[in-house]
Amino acid sequence: MTRLESRLVVDLGGFDLDLDLTAEQGVTALLGPNGSGKTTALKGLAGLHTLTAGHVRVGGTTWADTAARTHLPPERRSVGMVLADPLLFPHLSLLDNVAYGPRSRGMRPPAARSRATEELGRVGLGDLAGRRPAQVSQGQAQRAALARALATDPEVLLLDEPLSALDPQTRSTTRAELAQRLRDYPGVTILVTHDALDALTLADHLVFLDGGREIQAGSPAEVVSRPRSPYVAGVVGLNLLHGTLAADPGDTSAPGTARGLLDLGGGTHLVVADLPEGTSPGDELLATINPAAVTLYTDRPAASARNLWELTVAAVTVTGQRARVRLHLIPGTDLVAEVTLPAVAELRITAGSRLWAGVKATEIEVYPS
């Protein structure tokens, strides 16, 4: 089984990356805001950046090791790369584009064309092999680029935002076809993406970067259940609040009875129904709230929600038949509610309006900071 072991230290002057990255067969996704170091990491693995310090080892082969002054150039690394732009040769057919990969690695033309035919078939383009890039769709061109990368039988496949240039419908179809092909790929795949759906549907392991450093890593299920930064929480669609445990009423006799009070700062508190075992006043905790669990009202309600605040609407974003309403909770922290479009109309939700927001204590997940 292929295994990638690396420590990637790259100093680009105004930016530096320092990342320990280990990956097994399967898909590892790198996520993070623009400028977090995702593409720098890919270039370090591919040999397009020379490491300032660290190493890259794949299987039993060392691709880079600064201590031993080893740096294999990209063409000597068993790596395939796919970018947002397919970068297909416009004057060649899809077959010859894909055959170019193995030919560049020394395979004789007949064998390279045979390998290209096989790989085009595996990505569902066998019947389009004779067409040129201008004669196929964006999604088909991107699948041809994937076929070209895989036709060299690389140990490591690097995907840098491979679906970002596609329209939503094409992206959905191509994502499903990519997932099917990657399931059969025996090597290590490193996927760079900004899209949560890409990461959650394609990847076995997620690594989040910010400022050139890892801020969280884990399986999709682990990350979704316990995000550890506002960026990660935003990617998985949750509200993340940070607070200090201020009190523990200790009354848990009835379902939903409050157990703790988190001080969020700015005079704002969060009542929670359950606390991690062993916590005590003064402990720093994180709390997540599903936006669908936030209820909005125009007037102060006589509601059962233990958490109730009057807040200002910062923005409203509509997706399909639902809207995400962002409200200012405390300086530097917003609360997002997800409501239906009829609710937006009924409550007359617009930026700058004042609304009451309620959250039941039982709808809040709390874990150590």
Domains of the chain from N-terminus onward? 3-231 (3.40.50.300), 238-368 (2.40.50.100)
161: phi then psi, degrees, rounded to nearest 5: 50, 55
pTM, to two decimals: 0.88
Residues of the chain with pLDDT under 70: 247-258
Structure tokens at 112: 């390279």
Q: What does the pLDDT read at residue 252? A: 43
Rounded CA gap, 194 and 41, in Å?
15
Q: What does the pLDDT read at residue 253? A: 40
Cross-sheet strand order for the sheet of 354-359: 295-297, 354-359, 307-319, 322-330, 333-340
Rounded CA gap, 203 and 297, in Å?
39
Q: What does the pLDDT read at residue 288? A: 96
Counting Cα atoms < 13 Å in the Cβ hemisphere of 36 gives: 19
The set of residues, in sequence order, having a beta carbon less than 8 Å from that of 194 and lying 6+ positions away, is 31, 161, 164
Q: What does the pLDDT read at residue 302? A: 84
Q: Could you tell me which of 251, 277, 241, 249 has the C-alpha nearest to residue 359? A: 241
User: Where do the DSSP E strands lie in 248-321?
Assistant: 260-265, 268-272, 284-289, 295-297, 307-319
**Sign for the pseudo-dihedral over CA of 269, 270, 272, 277:** negative
Rounded CA gap, 26 and 185, in Å?
8
Give the tens place of pLDDT for each residue, 80-134: 999 989 999 999 999 999 999 899 888 999 999 999 999 999 999 999 999 999 9
